[in-house]
Amino acid sequence: MGNERKRYLANLPKNLVYEPVKTVRVGTRDIGENQPVFVIAEIGANHRGDVKNAFRAIEQAAKVGADAVKFQHLTAEKIAADTLVFDEWHEEPVGALSDFFKNASLPNEWTGKLIEHSKKHGIMFLSTPFDRDAVDVLDRANVPAFKIGSYELTDDIFLKYVAKKGKPIILSTGMAYLDEVAHAVRVIHEAGNNEIILLHCVSMYPPESSADLNLKAIETLREAFKLPVGYSDHSDPSYCAAPIVAVALGACLIERHLTDKRSGGSNDDPNSLEVTEFKVMVSEIRNAEKALSKSGIKQPVSHNGHKKDEVFDRWSRRSLYASRDISEGEKLTEEMVVTLRPWGGIEPKDFPIVNGRKTRRFVKARSAITFDDFFL
């Protein structure tokens, strides 16, 4: 941990932790400490307004090995006003903010069908609600948890409404300072809900630089709030390291957009992983889990039932060999020995035991030197 982050953590308020939570139960899965990483395939707007695309996305999410498939229950007029918006390159407005979300809208009528299709393919269904009606629809459908997006983190009224449903909350923290995260956690807790999983997130699609991912914030969130922490990845699809690094830093959940094609035309398609890429990501996450699964005790690897890799050890480690013919009765000196592979004689660290000792027999050049060759 860098000194800057140490000072940062040392100066945090001491009342951020209400009750340490190691795992949160979502459906049939425990998510958190010492549990398999939970992988969410975020579909977002990639259904492109067609329920058939949504069905296909569910099937693809199951096929790539995701633990859950996630949609977004939003209606354009309930998420944004008709205010004209400008981008940073144009002086003229690019359209109404509500128009931006029209292609991403998901009719509430799809909910039951999507849940049933998810069950059919053995994958958990989740969704992000963006208004109270969507919360109620999902609650009645008995979704196992609510995902709250980064944009709603500062909406206390909405946070309270969701929290009072009594379901676990997966809370993204993009664009937020730590005090804003603390406020959101406090609002949820005071509404009677401490089943929270925080997601570190950078709300750029994609970030301009891998440095902007700021993945050490995963550790900061976990240390500050003593809650399970995951990572919602929006990095460039060509940059495959971020989820693996996040897992190595302790992320218990990885969320990533999935699409059948980045040229699909939705707002989310360009920054999504395609099916093959997503499958590779899941595979690498599972490999990372295995690589991190040991105790951390430094010791040789077990091999074919042996306590350590004795075969590799025998062929790769060095021992003492005669650098020349050594006559019977000669006193051994350092000039008479060379260290060579394979192991089969005295270990180099034990040379002082035989240094200066007389040999009891002839030792041929380039043959291993053993304790039996000396009068000890």
Give how many domains the chain has, as a whole number.
2
195 and 320 housed in the same domain: no
Give the residue-averaged pLDDT of 131-158: 97
In a domain, 301, yes or no: no
DSSP E strands, the chain: 23-26, 29-32, 38-42, 68-73, 84-85, 95-96, 124-129, 146-148, 169-172, 196-201, 229-233, 253-259, 273-274, 319-322, 337-340
Question: What is the per-residue pLDDT across 286-333, written as a single tens digit (0 to 9) for each?
Answer: 999 999 998 899 887 776 666 655 556 677 899 999 999 999 999 999
In a domain, 40, yes or no: yes
164 and 228 housed in the same domain: yes
In a domain, 13, yes or no: no
Which CATH number goes with the domain that contains 79?
A: 3.20.20.70
* Model confidence, pTM: 0.87
Q: What percent of the chain has pLDDT over 70?
A: 89
268 and 337 housed in the same domain: no
In a domain, 1, yes or no: no
Among 246, 265, 292, where does a domain finish? 292
278 and 332 housed in the same domain: no
106 and 254 housed in the same domain: yes
Among 292, 318, 341, where does a domain finish? 292
Residue range of the domain that includes 359: 307-373
Question: What is the per-residue pLDDT across 331-360, written as a single tens digit (0 to 9) for each?
Answer: 999 999 999 999 899 999 999 999 999 999
Question: What is the per-residue pLDDT across 4-14, written as a single tens digit (0 to 9) for each?
Answer: 877 887 777 77
